Amino acid sequence: MSVATAPAPAPPRAPAAPPPPPSAARSLAVMVRWGLRPLRRAPLVWGGGVGALCALMAAMWPSIEDSMADLMQSYPESLRTAFGIEELTTVEAYVDAEMLSLVIPFVLGFFAIRSVERAVVGAEDRGHLDVLLALPLRRAVLLVGAWLAAGAALAGVLAVAWALTWLVGTAAGTGISAVTMAAGFAGVWPLAMCFAGLAALVSGLAHRPAVVTGVAFGTLAAMYTVDLVGRLSEPVEPLRWASAFHWYGSAVHDGIDPLHVLLLSGAGLAMVLVGALLFERRDVR
Amino acid sequence: MAPVVETERLTKRYRRGRGIEALTLRVERGEVFGFLGPNGAGKTTTIRTLLGLLRPTSGTARLFGLDARRDGLAVRARTGNLPGEFAFAPRMSGRAPALAERLQADLDRPIGELSRGNREKVGIIQALFHAPDLLVLDEPTSGLDPIMQREFLALVGEERARGTTVFLSSHDLDEVQRVCDRVGMVREGRLIAVEEVARMRERAHHEVRVRFAVPVHPEEVAAVPGVEGLRVEGDGLAFRAVGDLDPVVKALARHPVCDLEITHPTLEELFLRHYRPAEEGR
């Protein structure tokens, strides 16, 4: 006959000094890793998608190269100036005009904004922050970690897009420059991170994901418009300095300007820090 | 030694709707404190304010003698939390073999693929695995089957034996009755009563059913001090005996008794007595 016995009760816990909360640096490293988990396929999906489009543009270049000069002449000069397409004589300039001046900043700006929004307000909306913020974790670390994770994922997306463009461009015999294209793609990073910072700032105030994405992406579109109109209209021109796209410029034509990179990334980081202060003070729903 | 949980006129008002109002309570070390109330009474608001997720409108909340918000990091390092609706990154899985085995939780599968009950088990594990000094549990057994509910309540008992303080919000009166030392009742954002479970039951009325061998006039029993709500049930009488039972027993003993049943009310009955007047007054 067997006798069922209850498990022995656990011994009373000896009074001990409370465990110190983890350091901010350690928490930040964990949160960046945590933030990267849902983004681990992004380089393949977003980088692959954007890269395929850029690669298509590069692959088309040999077939349209000869007619490009005539096509450019048919455009009004102001339009050529506005879109920075005065001289489309190289494959790099063509990819820049077709993709890097509008499509990629918009698409990857949206990616960076959504990455931050999903990790903060999106997680709040899904009820995940009730678990996460009941841990010894500063809200500021969560926000900065989300921004850094978005930055790391964005770097991966840009690297894949650049690699695809260069590989296909080279295979198509365009003589595409790896260095020039790398500068072009790298220039998108600070621009997108500036708007990711804006998303973090709005996350410090708003509870709804749609509000965060809407405000940040709306600002991106508005800034693009101000920069574009400022090139065409003298009265609007002085406002261009307030547009991130003015500082984005064209790394393919002018190379990377470290000051502009610093300005855009610094603005992004500053907005993250302000957002962190606001996030610390608000309710989590 | 400072109480593990201490609130002083803690108030949280929302722009739309009620939160909690001037809530003052203390939970001592090693105590299992049941926090009872119907849906929308303010239980979750209290817990989320204690955990620093909500800013109090006024008043203070202190855990381990520290301010719940200002010293939030130190407080949360010693606290395990199971939210009412446990939701977490759906692709996450985890490791905690001993607890997982005991609760029969599958930690290899992503959380998003688990049933509500199994997600709840993961929630319990994440609240317990770092051996916290304070466990805050918001309706912890709502998704568990009866066997797992029993296992969970056994776990709570073991945690108490280790000196862990437990703050358990629930509207399952049976589980509160089984594990809690004291219970606080919250209604419409206000704490209306805090009592030891044992004392509450002692102080409570008794349900009495009696059958006599000879006919006894009901009014004779109704006139006994402490007898309330007398009703005739078949050939017997049933009533509530409030306060000291001795005069009631002596009064009944004047007649030949065939059958006598004296029972304690459940916590549910006590709970309903607290709430019924307000509900009836509406």
In the block, residue with structure tokens 């280790």: B162
Is the pLDDT at B167 greater than 60? The verdict is yes
Predicted confidence at residue B40, as pLDDT, reads: 85
pLDDT digits (tens, 9 = 90+) for A206-235: 999 999 999 999 999 999 999 999 988 899
More confident residue, B225 or A149: A149
C-beta of residue B7 within 8 angstroms of C-beta of residue B156: no
Q: How confident is the model at residue A3 (pLDDT cuts 50, 70, 90)?
A: very low
Q: For A10, which of B81, B87, B158 is closest by C-beta distance?
A: B158
- What is the overall mean pLDDT for chain B? 86
Strands (E), B131-226: 134-138, 165-170, 182-187, 190-196, 206-212
How distant is the Cα of A28 from the closest Cα of chain B, in angstroms? 14
Q: What is the CA radius of gyration of chain B?
A: 23
B98 touches chain A (CB under 8 A): no
How distant is the Cα of A51 from the closest Cα of chain B, in angstroms? 27
Q: For A9, which of B55, B73, B158 is closest by C-beta distance?
A: B158
CA-nearest residue to A16 within chain B is B133
Predicted confidence at residue B45, as pLDDT, reads: 95
- What is the overall mean pLDDT for chain A? 90
How distant is the Cα of B76 from the closest Cα of chain A, in angstroms? 5
CB contact (8 A) between residue B85 and residue A127: yes
Predicted confidence at residue B129, as pLDDT, reads: 82
Is the pLDDT at B173 greater than 80? The verdict is no
Predicted confidence at residue B282, as pLDDT, reads: 45
Is the pLDDT at A9 greater than 50? The verdict is no
Predicted confidence at residue A2, as pLDDT, reads: 37
**How many CB atoms within 10 Å of residue A226?**
20
Predicted confidence at residue B278, as pLDDT, reads: 52
B158 touches chain A (CB under 8 A): yes
Stated pTM of the model: 0.83
Top-ranked range on mean pLDDT: pick from A71-75, B6-10, B90-94, B192-196: B6-10
Q: How confident is the model at residue B112 (pLDDT cuts 50, 70, 90)?
A: confident
Distance CA A205, CA A209 (A): 11
Chain B positions touching A13 (Cβ under 8 A) are: 131, 162-164
B95 touches chain A (CB under 8 A): no
- ipTM above 0.85 for this complex: no
Interface of B with A in 218-247 (CB under 8 A): none
Predicted confidence at residue A7, as pLDDT, reads: 44
Is the pLDDT at A11 greater than 70? The verdict is no
Mutate to test the interface with A, among B150, B162, B167 (most CBs of A within 10 A): B162
Predicted confidence at residue B121, as pLDDT, reads: 85
C-beta of residue B21 within 8 angstroms of C-beta of residue B59: no
B162 touches chain A (CB under 8 A): yes
A137 touches chain B (CB under 8 A): yes
Take residue B111 and report the two structure tokens written for it.
Answer: 């959380």
pLDDT above 70 covers a percentage of chain A that reads: 92
pLDDT digits (tens, 9 = 90+) for A222-280: 999 999 999 888 999 999 999 999 999 899 989 999 999 999 999 999 999 999 999 99
